[in-house]
Structure 1
Amino acid sequence: NRMLGRSAPPRLPPYNFALSPYRAKKPWPPELLELPRSKQFNFERRFKRRLTAKSMRPKLNKWVRTLQWTIAVVLLTHCFWFQEWVNVYEHEDPDVFVPVEPLRRKTKELLDSVFWDGFYTYEEAPGKGRTSKSK
């Protein structure tokens, strides 16, 4: 394991705490049951705070929340504006009022003005009800 002419660092034996010249003043971890209630509370509060601080990942939480909202908005938008519920309307009257149809028409006009060839069109399929077809 030589890198740039250096030899590997020597392997040290594992540290033996029993032979340490620097003895601990208190045993660690403390016996919580032997401590008074106030000291137990102080230990619990201190380590709960440290654990909470260690477990916080603000960037990850932000990206997960952003991804969840994005997926929800995209799915709802797709369901209301672009999804054709053919099996729902197939057995019903073709002239039934679809609540989102005015919004769909406005969206189609807007998208057709942006994409000159037309973004999507509705075609009547014989016996199938309304279907969506991309150009």
Structure 2
Amino acid sequence: MLRTLVRRAAEAPRPFNFASNPYKAKKIWPPNFDNMSQKHQFRLERRYKRRAKLAWARPRWTKGVKLAQNGIIIFVLVYGVLFMDWGREDTPFKGVSDASEQMEGKS
């Protein structure tokens, strides 16, 4: 095994040659849209869009961003309703704020 690694490392790197590639593509890409029907073009475009969307999907990142956004919104609403000093006596949340202060005093 070690001899094989040494032999391969000693070989000069050859430039890639499309003609001698053992893994040839089954279909030519991009296809020639001039020779296709409208229906076939639409199918290819739809398939490409679906695959591109799947390739760029980041479900964990999206879920994390949504959780962070909702957490911030809930925090701001709760803080504004219960703890923020509005500087006025007659706020729309006066009853809720007073109830939360009374519950804190009982604990």
TM-score, with structure 1 as normaliser: 0.60
Once residues 33 and 55 of structure 1 are traced to their aligned partners in structure 2, the CA distance between those partners, rounded to angstroms, is 29
Matches of 2:85 and 2:96 in 1, distance apart? 14
Relative to 1, partners in 2 of residues 1:110 and 1:23: Cα closer, same or farther, differing over 3 Å? closer
Listed as ranges, the gaps of 5+ residues in structure 1 are 1-5, 90-95, 115-135
Number of residue pairs matched by the alignment:
100
CA distance in 2, matches of 1:26, 1:80: 62
Query: Larger radius of gyration, structure 1 or 2?
Result: 1
TM-score with structure 2 length normalisation? 0.72
Is 1:109 the equivalent of 2:102? Answer: yes
CA RMSD of aligned residues (A): 2.7
What is the rounded CA distance, in whole Å, between the counterparts of 2:91 and 2:26 in structure 1?
77
Structure 2 counterpart of 1:28: 29
Higher strand share: 1
Task: Tell me, in whole angstroms, the C-alpha distance in 2 between the residues paired with 1:79 and 1:22.
Answer: 63
Q: Offset of 1:85 from its aligned partner?
A: 2.1
- Runs of 4+ in structure 1 off by over 4 angstroms are 21-26
Unaligned runs of 5+ in 2: none
More helix by share: 2
